[in-house]
Chains A and B, each alone.
Chain A
Amino acid sequence: MSALVIDGLTVVFGAFRALDGLSLAVDPGEVRAVIGPNGAGKTTLLDAITGITRPRSGRIRLDDGRDLTRASEAEIARAGVRRKFQKPSVFPALTVRENLALGCGPDCPARERPARLARALAETGLEARAAVPAGALAHGEKQWLEIGMVLASEPRVLLLDEPVAGLSDDETARTADLIGALRRPDRAILVIEHDMAFVEAVADRVTVLHEGRTLFEGAMAGARADARVIEVFLGR
């Protein structure tokens, strides 16, 4: 049984089909990477899952049968779907700790909050920065804080949009470790990324997206050998 099922999803901007009948299923415990050239529709896919963009047709469901296709952003988040945005989206005026507290979400029991905050601080390595306003953090720290905010809610489905974009090699390696630590049997993780080495390090399977459609699905080694994938990546 899949944790997240996307079925025939079509998203249209004017006359342009950003997603064209895309289907995708992610299993619990799986880390799935979605790769593809710029403009392939990767961010649009996450926008549709999180309720920011409404699909023209198709369905988005969770494993308990919950239909997210028409739910509001807040409802989707409360169903356990969390997203790390492509551009680091933290609240600059709030401290690291306050950001993480918001990340716990409105349904987090007050008793549990301190433990979750402590865990998120430890996992992201931001303990020493807890009282610093997020606006004053370095780029890499903002990325980790945002992952920590997502973590603090203990999501069932975790969506990461280019988590290592703009990071140094060191920071990329740290982020790969962090994502490895996020893996849990009851959690599905979807990572969007350009960095092939990074994808190879974190993902179980990859989906290659091109012009809103699936070009390839399977192991990374298979993707590297696939003639159409090579053409799309080399042809741009």
Chain B
Amino acid sequence: MSGALDLSPGVPAARRPGPSLGGDPLLAGLVGLVLATALALVLLQPAPYLVNLVGQLAAFAILAVSLDLVWGYLGILSLGHGLFFAIGGYVCAMHLLAHAYAVTGTPPDLMQFMGWKSLPVYWTGLTSAPYALALALGLTAAVAFVFGLASFRSRVNGVYFSIISQALVYVAMLLMFRNDTGLGGNNGMTGFSRLFGWPMGAPGVVTGLAVATLLCLAAVLVGARVLVASPLGRRMLACRDDEARLRTLGYGTTRLKLGIWCLSAVIAALAGLLYVPQVGIINPRVLSPDLSIEIAVWVAIGGLGRLGGAVIGAVAVNALKFWLSAAMPEAWPFILSGLVLVVVLGLPNGLLDLAALRLKPTWLRRAGSRP
């Protein structure tokens, strides 16, 4: 990388994924590990807090993969992916509250707080889980489409795109802090008591959520891998490395970027949708600019442009965060900054560089990389 503002990933050609799942042993191994973890949760039944932790980490991993898809493979650094994660999360929270209200008859805190006799019209139908799922993913795709179309058509690229995406998530946060949105305002939404009719805290529900999230992660990894290894994936890499050149070969890049951008947003929404019932709350802080930047940090730390790297980065950073935020919460920002510095200065391809160090002596790696 040539400078601080150079956002191009610059993945070494030799590290590029091969054509089949077998050509990427790291990813194949990770998918296997994810599935084995899901099985272990079911069979061994560890303590619920541990199961819940695994489920949350898996949701973050999905979020990281969604960003890697557009940043690592298409060269579009979004600093606003928290927006899509939040749309998934908010719609899921609305469903959970509406559903619990329908089942138990107890009105959610939000209604009492706002002094409402019933939920506003835009909550209509959210008692239905399929409708909520369709709304979350559909709304995300629509927002991503409008934002992407406006940006890509007017050729807003690079740092400018990153800044605008960050502004977008910030505006959304300010909006959600208002109490009159009917979405919980400052306090957000919490007190989810039911999931598909089951009491939320029951061990079966906790395990079910974590396993579902792990299965989604495995599916997203395999799907993303198939995509990036396909001819379309080749076109993504070409667009990332020289978009103008790709256009002069006859390819309309706006459509390509828009399609992958919307797909990435929908995957981020899926992560939010799975995350909220596990953490038990959503509030406007998921829309804070620093969370969106943190997602990029996970991906960069794990290894940009390699799907497995995104998972490793998300899990490693968040596991550290879970542990440290209990031990010494004030130190977290400093530790995160330190990690970023170490990666930027010492490990340009993220933590995956560490693995490579151990596998091959330096002189071999030199000989193997391109001149």
Contacts and interface: CB of A to CB of B under 8 A. Distances in A.
A185 B247 CA distance: 27
A140 B245 CA distance: 19
A136 B246 contact: no
Given A89-B245, A93-B241, A102-B238, A135 B251 contact: no
Q: Is chain B's binding surface mostly helix, strand, loop or mixed?
A: helix
The 5 closest A-B pairs by CB, nearest first: A133-B13, A77-B250, A73-B247, A105-B250, A135-B13
A101 interface: yes
13 contacts: A73-B244, A74-B248, A74-B253, A91-B238, A91-B242, A92-B13, A93-B237, A98-B234, A101-B231, A102-B246, A135-B370, A136-B14, A136-B371
B360 interface: no
Contacts of B280: none
Contacts, number: 76
A83 interface: yes
A153 B242 contact: no
A21 to B, nearest CB: 25
A52 B16 CA distance: 30
Given A93-B241, A133-B13, A136-B13, A105 B234 contact: no
B321 interface: no
Contacts of B11: 93
Contacts of B252: 72, 74
B285 interface: no
Contacts of A136: 13-14, 370-371
A94 B13 CA distance: 7
Given A94-B234, A133-B370, A136-B370, A74 B16 contact: no
Interface of A: 50-52, 72-74, 76-78, 82-83, 85, 89, 91-94, 98, 101-103, 105-107, 133-136, 149, 153
B5 interface: no
Contacts of B251: 74, 102, 105-106
Contacts of A78: 250
Given A133-B13, A133-B370, A136-B370, A102 B248 contact: no
Interface residues of B, number: 24
Interface string B326-362: 0000000000000000000000000000000000000
Contact of B16 (A101, A133, A149, A153): A133
Nearest to A78: B250
A87 to B, nearest CB: 10
B248 A92 contact: no
A153 B250 contact: yes
B241 A102 contact: no
B234 A102 contact: yes
A134 B237 CA distance: 13
B17 to A, nearest CB: 10
Contacts of B249: 77, 82, 102-103, 105, 149, 153
Given A82-B248, A102-B246, 18 more contacts: A52-B244, A74-B248, A74-B253, A89-B245, A91-B238, A91-B242, A91-B245, A92-B13, A92-B241, A93-B13, A93-B16, A98-B234, A105-B250, A133-B16, A133-B370, A135-B13, A136-B14, A153-B249
Contacts of B237: 91, 93-94
Contact of B248 (A73, A93, A94): A73
